[in-house]
Amino acid sequence: MAASTHGGRAKCLQRLVRLELPVPRTVALSFDAVNAIAAGETPDMSALLQPFGDSAVLCVRPSSEDPDWGGPGAILNIGMNDARYVELSDRLGKAAAADLYLRFVQSYSVHVARVDPDLFDDLSDDPVEALGEALAAYEEDIEEAFPQDTGAQLLEVLKSMARAWQGTTARLLRQAKGAPADAGLGLVVQEMALGLGTGVSGSGVMQLVNSDTGARQCTGRYLSQSQGREALNQEKDAVFLQKDDRGPSLQEMAPEAFADLKTYTKLMREKLREEMQSEFTIEDGKVYLLDGVRVARSARAAVSIAVALAEDGIISREEALMRIEPRALNELLHRQIDPEAPRDELARGIGASPGAASGKIVFTAADAQAADAQGEATILVRRETSPEDIRGMHAAAGVLTERGGITSHAAVIGRGIGKPCVVGANDITFQTKRKRLVFPDGRMFKAGDMITIDGSSGEVLAGEPPMLEAARDDSFRTLMEWADTTRDIEVRANADTPEDALVAQNFKAQGIGLCRTEHMFVDPSRLIAIREMIFADSSEDRASALEVLLPMQRADFTDLFRIMQGRPVCIRLFDPPLHEYLPSDRDGIRELAEALDLPVADVTERVEALDEYNPMLGMRGVRLGIAVPEIYEMQARAIFEATVEASHDGEAVVPEIMIPLVSAMREVELVKKSVDAVAAAVRTETGSEFTYRLGVMVETPRAALRAHEIAQHVSFLSFGTNDLTQMTYGLSRDDAGRFMSAYVQQGVYPEDPFHVLDVDGVGELLEIGAKRGREAAPELTLSICGEHGGNPESIAFCRNAGFDYVSCSPFRVPVARLAAAQLAVKDRVT
What are the catalytic residues? 409, 785
Cβ of residue 404: shortest distance to a copy of itself, in angstroms?
Answer: 9
Measured between alpha carbons, how far is 744 from 751 in angstroms, rounded to an integer? 6
76, 106, 227, 298, 341 from 121: Cα distances, Å: 20, 10, 21, 38, 31
Nearest approach, Cβ of 732 to a copy of itself (angstroms)? Answer: 4
Residue with smaller CB distance to a copy of itself, 143 or 585 = 585
Alpha carbons 221 and 233: distance in angstroms, whole number? 10
> Could you tell me whether strands 716-719 and 781-784 are parallel, antiparallel, or unpaired per DSSP bridges?
parallel
- Residue 292 or 349: which CB sits closer to a copy of itself? 349
- Quick count: other Cβ atoms within 10 Å of Cβ 225? 16
Separation CA 128–CA 96 (nearest Å) = 9
Closest distance of CB 457 from a copy of itself, Å = 25
Give the shortest CB-699-to-a copy of itself separation in angstroms.
Answer: 7
> What dihedral do alpha carbons 814, 820, 825, 830 form, nearest 10°?
150
Closest CA to 574 of 604, 541, 511, 529: 529
Q: How far is the CB of 793 from a copy of itself (least distance, A)?
A: 18
Residues 6+ apart with CB under 8 A from 729: 753, 758, 761, 762
Residue-level length of the chain: 830
User: Which residue number, 45 or 670, has a Cβ lying nearer to a copy of itself?
Assistant: 670
What is d(CA 187, CA 8) in angstroms, rounded to the nearest whole number? 10
In Å, what is the CA distance from 231 to each residue of 188, 223, 268, 589? 22, 5, 21, 70
67 vs 615, which CB is nearer to a copy of itself? Answer: 615
Closest approach of a copy of itself to the CB of residue 728, in Å: 5
In whole angstroms, give the CA distance from residue 496 to residue 504.
10
CB contact at 8 A, 230 and 321: no
Question: What is the DSSP track for 320-346?
Answer: HHHTS-GGGGHHHHS-EE-TTS---EE
Write the DSSP symbol of residue 43. Answer: P
User: What is the smallest separation between the CB atom of 783 and a copy of itself, expressed in angstroms?
Assistant: 20
> Both ends of the chain: CA-CA distance in Å?
25
3-state secondary structure of 786: coil
- Cα 69 to its chain centre, rounded Å, is 21
- Rounded to the nearest whole angstrom, what is the least distance from the CB of residue 785 to a copy of itself in the complex? 16
Q: What is the Cα–Cα distance from 456 to 246, expressed in whole angstroms?
A: 36
Q: Which is nearer to a copy of itself, 48 or 765 (CB)?
A: 765
Give residues in contact with a copy of itself (CB under 8 A): 612-619, 623, 626-627, 661, 663-664, 666-667, 670, 699-702, 705-706, 723, 726-732, 734-736, 738-739, 742-743, 746-749, 758, 760-762, 764-765
Query: What DSSP state is assigned to residue 431?
Result: E
Residue among 204 and 424 whose Cβ is closer to a copy of itself: 424
Rounded alpha-carbon distances, angstroms, from residue 610 to 375, 503, 581, 586: 39, 36, 11, 16
Please, which residue, 274 or 734, has the CB nearer to a copy of itself? 734
Sheet hosting strand 58-64, strand order edge to edge = 26-29, 185-191, 58-64, 75-78
Instruction: Determine the Cα–Cα distance for residues 793 and 784; give it in Å rounded to an integer.
Output: 13
Of 70 and 701, which CB lies nearer to a copy of itself in the complex structure?
701
What is the rounded CA–CA span in Å between residue 463 and residue 345?
10
Q: How far is the CB of 529 from a copy of itself (least distance, A)?
A: 23
Nearer to a copy of itself, 184 or 773 (CB): 773
Spatial CB neighbours of 712, under 8 Å, sequence gap ≥ 6 = 665, 776, 777
- Residue pair 190/25 in contact by the 8 Å Cβ criterion: yes
Minimum distance of a copy of itself from residue 730's CB (angstroms): 4
Counting DSSP H helices and E strands in the chain, the numbers are 34, 29
Tell me which residue of 678, 791, 115, 776 sits closest to 415, measured CA to CA.
Answer: 791
Q: Is 779 exposed, middle or buried (0-12, 13-18, 19+ CB in 10 A)?
A: exposed
Residue 617: DSSP 8-state: G
Residue 127 or 625 with smaller CB distance to a copy of itself: 625
The phi, psi pair for 436, rounded to 5°, reads: -150, 160
Which one, of 412, 278, 579, lies nearest residue 399 by Cα?
412
- Nearer CB in complex with a copy of itself: 446/673: 673
CB of 747 to a copy of itself, least distance (A): 6
Packing angle of the helix pair 762-776, 792-800 (nearest 10 deg): 30
Contact 545, 533 (CB under 8 A): yes
Provide the minimum distance between the beta carbon of 607 and a copy of itself in the complex, in angstroms, as a whole number.
14
Give the number of C-alpha atoms closer than 13 A to the C-alpha of residue 417, restricted to the C-beta side. Answer: 22
Nearer to a copy of itself, 266 or 739 (CB): 739
Nearer to a copy of itself, 291 or 734 (CB): 734
CA angle 306, 790, 767 (to 5 degrees): 120
CB 382 to a copy of itself: min, Å = 14
